[in-house]
Amino acid sequence: MFSKWPLLSTLRHYSLSLAGRDLLAASLVSLLLVPQALAYAQLAGLPAVAGLFASILPLLVYALIGNSPGVALSFGPVAVLSLMTAAALAPVATAGSAAYLQAATTLTLLVGTLLLVMGLLRLGFIANFLSHPVISGFVSGSALLIAVSQIKYLLGVSVDGLSLLQVLPGLYAQLGQVHQPTLILAGVSLALLVLLRNLHWLGVPATLAARARQFSALMVILLAMLLGALLQLESYGVKVVGEVEASLPPLLIPSLELPLVLTLLPAALLIALVGFIESVSIAQSLAMRKRQSINPDLEMLGQGAANIAAACSGGMPVAASFSRSALALQSSVATPLVGVFAALLMLAAVLGLAPLLEHLPQAVLAASIVVAVLGLVDLRTLRRTWRYSRQEGAAQLATLLGVLLHGVEAGILLGVGLSLLLFLWRTSRPHMAVLGQLPGSEHFRNIERFTTVQSDSVLSIRIDESLYFPNARYLEGRIAELLASRPQARHLVLMCSGVNLIDASALDTLEAISERLHSAGVQLHLAEVKGPVMDRLRRSNFLDSFGGHVFVSQYHALHSLDPTTTERARQLPASHE
Amino acid sequence: MFSKWPLLSTLRHYSLSLAGRDLLAASLVSLLLVPQALAYAQLAGLPAVAGLFASILPLLVYALIGNSPGVALSFGPVAVLSLMTAAALAPVATAGSAAYLQAATTLTLLVGTLLLVMGLLRLGFIANFLSHPVISGFVSGSALLIAVSQIKYLLGVSVDGLSLLQVLPGLYAQLGQVHQPTLILAGVSLALLVLLRNLHWLGVPATLAARARQFSALMVILLAMLLGALLQLESYGVKVVGEVEASLPPLLIPSLELPLVLTLLPAALLIALVGFIESVSIAQSLAMRKRQSINPDLEMLGQGAANIAAACSGGMPVAASFSRSALALQSSVATPLVGVFAALLMLAAVLGLAPLLEHLPQAVLAASIVVAVLGLVDLRTLRRTWRYSRQEGAAQLATLLGVLLHGVEAGILLGVGLSLLLFLWRTSRPHMAVLGQLPGSEHFRNIERFTTVQSDSVLSIRIDESLYFPNARYLEGRIAELLASRPQARHLVLMCSGVNLIDASALDTLEAISERLHSAGVQLHLAEVKGPVMDRLRRSNFLDSFGGHVFVSQYHALHSLDPTTTERARQLPASHE
């Protein structure tokens, strides 16, 4: 395990040149992280400074025990997790109250603890419940929902709710109360953000335009801070972030009341899994570029520890962020120590920015969120999935709409449920082919696709799927059907080259099939059974009791059971289809 | 659809000899059904006569529209469903009250409606969520729980509760109140039942002993009815079934209050699925013996209609019963009309037995239930599953204990959850083999099992599993790992002979892998892709964008990418391992 602990080998070979590269990367990422941290805290319903705090201690902890420099660099508050946090906390406390803050620390502690426990139990595979279409639908739906949730800040009205069905009627009712100065400020910010992100339209050189795009949110927010302080915008009725104490991150002790823990547990599990998937994808994509590999269970442990640190210093769940990982890809990060540098820079930011934060208008933060998250809405993938598979496309669309209309948790559960159902439906009817011998050869192929020679007394069937509980019952029915149409068959040979597993349900089914075939005067045989499957069958008494043979190949089976037809077919001239 | 409607073809060819066989089978099954109907009604917390009513109209309806004579013969009240009914109704009403009866009709109507809807939507595959080990653990656990739940009748005490944790402390507290005459009656009944079921111990000829075993419950219950009427057992304080009106089945209109419907819906779904699985297994096993096949969706429709009939005439969910299907197997049932005869005989039984039921002691019914259900406890299967697969055995044991300790619903949900988790865990780490060329041949095999020749510049990997969301992430990590240890590789060829499906998640992963391999200077190729998989890939733009080839075989791939090594290996002498 220690050989996989990157910090140790890093320290052994650390040099000034490496430190220089780490410092550069850390500076760039901090400039990106500051506006995101402020904005995502607002999204989560927490004080803006909580986002900054969540970017200090967790980064340090991950840098010390985490296992990927790329993840260390992009670690911190994440848009989707912040929305999920707001959704989880809304039913238990009012945003802004002390109880809300307390519940946020509990939630974050749960997220961290779940990740630690799952990492120790090597349960990382649970993340596989979330298929790509479901995740993509979830991210797009969440991004749209985040954008909608920020409209109230842009208009200067107050509306509650965490789904489209709750927010839209509220917004409509408040349209008369729109605060003009706030709306103007929001409009200018949005325009400025769009402009800065698209300087290439004005003929600005590509690299400069790309940098401007990356740091557009930072520039607009710094500008807004300065203007806010100079013009005292709050005196015009514009809502601002408000007074912030310049301090080190507070050390909070998370509340652990049992009823609260039980209420937040399902949401914490979803947050943990979504955060883990995001981080592990980033880690894997960075590792593969360098021909390295990562250990997902170690990754889970590192993230668990970082979230526990987050619980003690601000209360926002943290993970690696896709938007910041883009930076990590460009800047060829050297070592995990980059996290240490970034944490120190964020600490400086807290101490330096706190006085300015007071006058920062919430509408400007909201504008930066809207522009950022709309980039996450990915309808192209939806179209692509739909073209590739109607069913998976439908699952993706259902997840997106579920999130939008009923909130993040309902949406993701709907998606997971649908993809499991879909999977069961698909795997419950495996492709089965009746086989015949290709003339002039020892090969057996699907009689519907090739001209073949079939034996009257031996029915050959190939199953293109593992045999297990989702399809055990279907197998029974299908074989009965095929035999019903072949009254002369005396032997049935199952070709198992596509069977990677036979579970206990399928073993029962094979026994039942074999027994019932006996009473109908037919003997079951197997052919081309894979090694691991055979090892397992030997642990049951099926091989002794089913009365048939296990043949090395379909040809051997047919040659032994119906030599005349087989030999005749082999000597026919090969057909040229 | 009509060509599959058995009644029509039956009536066309019906004869006196067929009618005679049907009548004989119906008489035998009615003799078995009478005691079971009485006992299972008691188990479900309903009046004893409700069980008889549930064996009339539903049988008629199934006979008219159902699709399997074997199922028609074994249709009616079932032990496990009765326990599930009691568990579902306990939270909403007190057993014996009018509200309880009303809720029972609602539950049964829901079961019927769900079956109809699932049949029409062809959702029969949902039953596949229940693997054999889970069903077996569920049946054993339920049987033990049923036996435990009857102890109070054997002792003449009253105890509430529907799990071991609820019943045992109650029984312990009541030990002082045991009613002596009831206990003696129960003891004698149990002894007589055990004796009648095992007459072969006394040297009685096998066929006679088998008949006595089958009708032991009927004999003991008839005897108890007569004794009860003669001795007026209730005057000794023995609890009896009580007054029953000899009547036709009442036509009830099920209550459909929304809150009640929503409360009972999950239980109704489980009852529908468990009943369906039991019936469809029986139908399949009977059909296969005669080289026929059944249509599960039609089966679902027939059962749905029968349950709706049950809801209107007594309120007990019905299905085909394993114990009665044994009789169906022996008596070579002729036609579905057997159900019509059985229904008429049960009607006669209601009218004839009603006066005698009044004096039937509950303890005798309980004794017949205990003896019957203990035969369902199947620890041999548990041992066998455990030997075949530790994980599936653990899921089975967990289901059994879950049912016993926390009740039927919690137990079955635990089992389903565990088997899905287990399945995901297993399929999330598919077997992958690095391949090398067998000397002197064009075949490629696992380098760990065979002596092979490997190319330095081409890495060959075979994946023994479909590529889909449970294993998409693992694939990425594993390929990175394999490449990390082969710095000289310039090409990666995935042999897809075991890949029956590539879903949208796996397609994303393949694209990501291909792209990252490019940035590491490696080109991805595919080989031996199956037809249906290829058809799907053509609907994406993967084949245009990944930059590699799709080769017909692994040999063609290697021969094209590294001809020198491949040709050299082919000309080596074959090894003789």
Using the Cβ of A473 and the Cβ atoms of chain B, whether some distance falls under 8 Å is answered with yes
Which residue shows structure tokens 């008889």?
B52
The C-alpha of A20 sits at a distance from chain B's nearest C-alpha, in angstroms, of 25
Its pTM stands at: 0.73
* Chain-chain contact of A477 with B293 (C-beta, under 8 angstroms): yes
Give the integer Cα–Cα distance in Å for A102 and A483. 67
Give the integer Cα–Cα distance in Å for A253 and A312. 6
Candidates A274, A276, A285, A288: best to mutate against B (most CBs of B within 10 A) is: A288
Contact between residue A353 and residue A35 where contact means Cβ atoms under 8 Å apart: no
* Alpha-carbon Rg for chain A in angstroms: 31
H/E element holding A491? strand A491-495
Nearest CB neighbour to B284, from listed A131, A419, A480: A480
Give the integer Cα–Cα distance in Å for A160 and A142. 17
The C-alpha of B430 sits at a distance from chain A's nearest C-alpha, in angstroms, of 9
Candidates B505, B536, B538: best to mutate against A (most CBs of A within 10 A) is: B505
Query: What distance lies between CA A560 and its chain's CA centroid?
Result: 52
* Chain-chain contact of B288 with A513 (C-beta, under 8 angstroms): yes
DSSP letter, residue A570: H
* Chain-chain contact of B468 with A287 (C-beta, under 8 angstroms): no
- State the pLDDT at residue B571: 87
* Chain-chain contact of B429 with A125 (C-beta, under 8 angstroms): yes
Structure confidence at residue A113 as a pLDDT band (50, 70, 90): very high
- Kindly tell me if the per-residue pLDDT of A563 is higher than 90: yes
Closest-CA residue in chain B for A506? B132
CB atoms within 10 A of CB A329: 16
Provide the token pair at B71: 């199922």
Helix, strand, coil percentages for chain B (3-state, nearest 5): 65, 5, 25
Residues in contact with B515: Cβ distance below 8 Å, sequence separation at least 6, in sequence order: none
Contact between residue B415 and residue B398 where contact means Cβ atoms under 8 Å apart: yes
Chain B residues with CB inside 8 Å of A4's CB?
Answer: none
Structure confidence at residue A142 as a pLDDT band (50, 70, 90): confident
- Mean local confidence (pLDDT), A450-466: 89
Q: Could you tell me which residue, A323 or A512, shows the higher pLDDT?
A: A512
Residues in contact with A423: Cβ distance below 8 Å, sequence separation at least 6, in sequence order: B468, B469
- Taking alpha carbons only, the member of B149, B153, B147 closest to residue B241 is B153
Question: Does residue B494 sit in helix, strand or coil?
Answer: strand
What torsion, rounded to 10 degrees, do the Cα atoms B123, B129, B134, B140 define?
-20
* Chain-chain contact of A477 with B507 (C-beta, under 8 angstroms): no
pLDDT digits (tens, 9 = 90+) for A123-139: 877 777 778 888 888 88
- Mean local confidence (pLDDT), A374-403: 89
Structure confidence at residue A288 as a pLDDT band (50, 70, 90): low
Task: State the first-to-last Cα distance of chain A, in angstroms, to the nearest integer.
Answer: 57
Chain B residues with CB inside 8 Å of A393's CB?
Answer: 504
Provide the token pair at A473: 């019952």
Closest-CA residue in chain A for B449? A531
DSSP letter, residue A90: T
Give the integer Cα–Cα distance in Å for A48 and A354. 10
Handedness of CA B559, B562, B563, B567 (dihedral sign): negative
Would you tell me which residues 361-420 of chain A have a C-beta closer than 8 angstroms to some C-beta of chain B?
Answer: 384-385, 387-389, 392-393, 396, 419-420
Closest-CA residue in chain A for B512? A285
* Alpha-carbon Rg for chain B in angstroms: 31
Which residue shows structure tokens 């067929």?
B18
* Chain-chain contact of A131 with B484 (C-beta, under 8 angstroms): no
- Mean local confidence (pLDDT), A426-440: 85
H/E element holding A526? strand A523-527
> Can you give the residue ranges of every domain in chain B?
17-369+381-422, 432-571
In DSSP terms, B495 is beta-bridged to B462, B527
Chain B residues with CB inside 8 Å of A389's CB?
Answer: 503-504, 536
Q: What is the CATH number of domain A432-571?
A: 3.30.750.24
Residues in contact with A177: Cβ distance below 8 Å, sequence separation at least 6, in sequence order: A157
Which residue shows structure tokens 């040297």?
B203
Chain A residues with CB inside 8 Å of B130's CB?
Answer: 469
- State the pLDDT at residue B3: 45
pLDDT digits (tens, 9 = 90+) for B513-549: 898 888 888 999 999 888 888 999 998 889 999 999 9
DSSP β-ladder status, B550-551 and B523-527: parallel
The C-alpha of A64 sits at a distance from chain B's nearest C-alpha, in angstroms, of 23
In DSSP terms, A502 is beta-bridged to A467
Chain B residues with CB inside 8 Å of A470's CB?
Answer: 125, 128
In the chain, the amino acid numbered A521 is G
- Kindly tell me if the per-residue pLDDT of A28 is higher than 70: yes
Chain B residues with CB inside 8 Å of A131's CB?
Answer: 468-469, 472, 503-505
Residues in contact with A236: Cβ distance below 8 Å, sequence separation at least 6, in sequence order: A181
The C-alpha of A390 sits at a distance from chain B's nearest C-alpha, in angstroms, of 10
Structure confidence at residue A3 as a pLDDT band (50, 70, 90): very low
- Mean local confidence (pLDDT), A411-419: 85
Give the integer Cα–Cα distance in Å for A550 and A566. 18
Which residue shows structure tokens 């692509």?
A384
The C-alpha of B390 sits at a distance from chain A's nearest C-alpha, in angstroms, of 10
Chain B residues with CB inside 8 Å of A497's CB?
Answer: 497
- Taking alpha carbons only, the member of B102, B75, B83, B212 closest to residue B147 is B83
Q: A–B: how many Cβ contacts below 8 A?
A: 194
Closest-CA residue in chain B for A429? B125
* Chain-chain contact of A469 with B426 (C-beta, under 8 angstroms): no
Q: Could you tell me which residue, A313 or B190, shows the higher pLDDT?
A: B190
Alpha helices in A198-257 (DSSP H): 206-214, 216-231
Give the integer Cα–Cα distance in Å for B12 and A459. 33
Alpha helices in A215-294 (DSSP H): 216-231, 258-289
Candidates B286, B293, B475, B528: best to mutate against A (most CBs of A within 10 A) is: B293
Alpha helices in B497-562 (DSSP H): 504-519, 531-537, 542-545, 554-561
Chain B residues with CB inside 8 Å of A468's CB?
Answer: 131, 423
Give the integer Cα–Cα distance in Å for B104 and B108. 6
Would you tell me which residues 415-434 of chain B have a C-beta closer than 8 angstroms to some C-beta of chain A?
Answer: 419-421, 423-426, 428-431
Give the integer Cα–Cα distance in Å for A83 and B11. 65
φ, ψ (nearest 5 deg) of residue A114: -60, -45
Would you tell me which residues 448-467 of chain B have a C-beta closer than 8 angstroms to some C-beta of chain A?
Answer: 449, 464-466
Contact between residue A58 and residue A76 where contact means Cβ atoms under 8 Å apart: yes
* Chain-chain contact of A388 with B539 (C-beta, under 8 angstroms): yes
H/E element holding A340? helix A337-357
* Chain-chain contact of A131 with B501 (C-beta, under 8 angstroms): no
Contact between residue A264 and residue A71 where contact means Cβ atoms under 8 Å apart: no
pLDDT above 70 covers what percent of chain A?
A: 93
Chain A residues with CB inside 8 Å of B67's CB?
Answer: none
- Taking alpha carbons only, the member of A495, A490, A487, A501 closest to residue A536 is A501
* Chain-chain contact of B125 with A424 (C-beta, under 8 angstroms): yes
Candidates A503, A522, A528, A529: best to mutate against B (most CBs of B within 10 A) is: A503
* Chain-chain contact of B388 with A131 (C-beta, under 8 angstroms): no
- Kindly tell me if the per-residue pLDDT of A210 is higher than 90: no
Chain B residues with CB inside 8 Å of A519's CB?
Answer: 289
Q: Could you tell me which residue, B447 or A575, shows the higher pLDDT?
A: B447
Structure confidence at residue A292 as a pLDDT band (50, 70, 90): low
* Chain-chain contact of B291 with A519 (C-beta, under 8 angstroms): no
In the chain, the amino acid numbered B36 is Q
Residue A470 vs residues A427, A511, B124, B185, B422: alpha-carbon distances, Å: 6, 17, 12, 47, 13
In the chain, the amino acid numbered A320 is A
- Taking alpha carbons only, the member of A486, A452, A449 closest to residue A555 is A452
* Chain-chain contact of B131 with A536 (C-beta, under 8 angstroms): no
Q: How many CA atoms lie within 13 A of A319 on its CB side?
A: 30
H/E element holding B105? helix B98-120
Using the Cβ of B500 and the Cβ atoms of chain A, whether some distance falls under 8 Å is answered with yes
Closest-CA residue in chain A for B531? A449
Candidates A500, A513, A533: best to mutate against B (most CBs of B within 10 A) is: A500
Structure confidence at residue A29 as a pLDDT band (50, 70, 90): confident
Using the Cβ of A507 and the Cβ atoms of chain B, whether some distance falls under 8 Å is answered with yes
Question: Does residue A461 sit in helix, strand or coil?
Answer: strand
pLDDT digits (tens, 9 = 90+) for A9-27: 777 778 888 888 888 888 8
Give the integer Cα–Cα distance in Å for A513 and A526. 13
Give the integer Cα–Cα distance in Å for A328 and A125. 26
The C-alpha of B344 sits at a distance from chain A's nearest C-alpha, in angstroms, of 32
Give the integer Cα–Cα distance in Å for B367 and B293. 39
φ, ψ (nearest 5 deg) of residue B460: -105, 125
Question: Does residue A361 sit in helix, strand or coil?
Answer: strand
DSSP β-ladder status, B523-527 and A550-551: unpaired
Chain A residues with CB inside 8 Å of B426's CB?
Answer: 501
- State the pLDDT at residue A183: 94
Digitized pLDDT (tens) for each residue of chain B, 577 residues in all: 344 566 677 777 788 888 888 888 888 788 778 888 888 998 898 988 888 889 999 988 988 887 677 777 788 999 889 989 998 998 888 888 888 988 999 999 999 999 999 999 888 777 777 788 888 888 889 889 888 888 988 998 888 777 888 888 888 888 888 999 999 999 999 999 999 988 888 888 888 888 888 788 888 988 998 898 888 888 888 888 777 766 767 777 777 788 888 889 889 998 998 898 888 877 777 666 666 667 778 888 999 999 999 998 878 999 988 777 766 666 555 677 888 888 999 888 888 877 777 888 989 988 988 888 888 888 888 998 999 988 889 999 999 999 898 888 888 888 888 888 887 777 778 888 899 998 888 888 888 888 899 999 999 999 888 888 888 878 888 888 888 888 889 999 999 888 888 988 889 889 888 988 888 889 999 998 888 889 999 988 899 999 999 998 889 999 999 999 999 988 888 765 4
Nearest CB neighbour to B481, from listed A280, A293, A509: A293
Query: Phi-psi bin for B203: left (phi > 0), alpha (psi -120 to 50), beta?
Result: left
Handedness of CA A477, A480, A486, A491 (dihedral sign): positive
Chain A residues with CB inside 8 Å of B122's CB?
Answer: none
Candidates A388, A421, A538: best to mutate against B (most CBs of B within 10 A) is: A388
Give the integer Cα–Cα distance in Å for B52 and B352. 12
- DSSP string covering B253-284, please? -----HHHHHHHHHHHHHHHHHHHHHHHHHHH
Number of residues in chain A: 577
In the chain, the amino acid numbered B65 is I
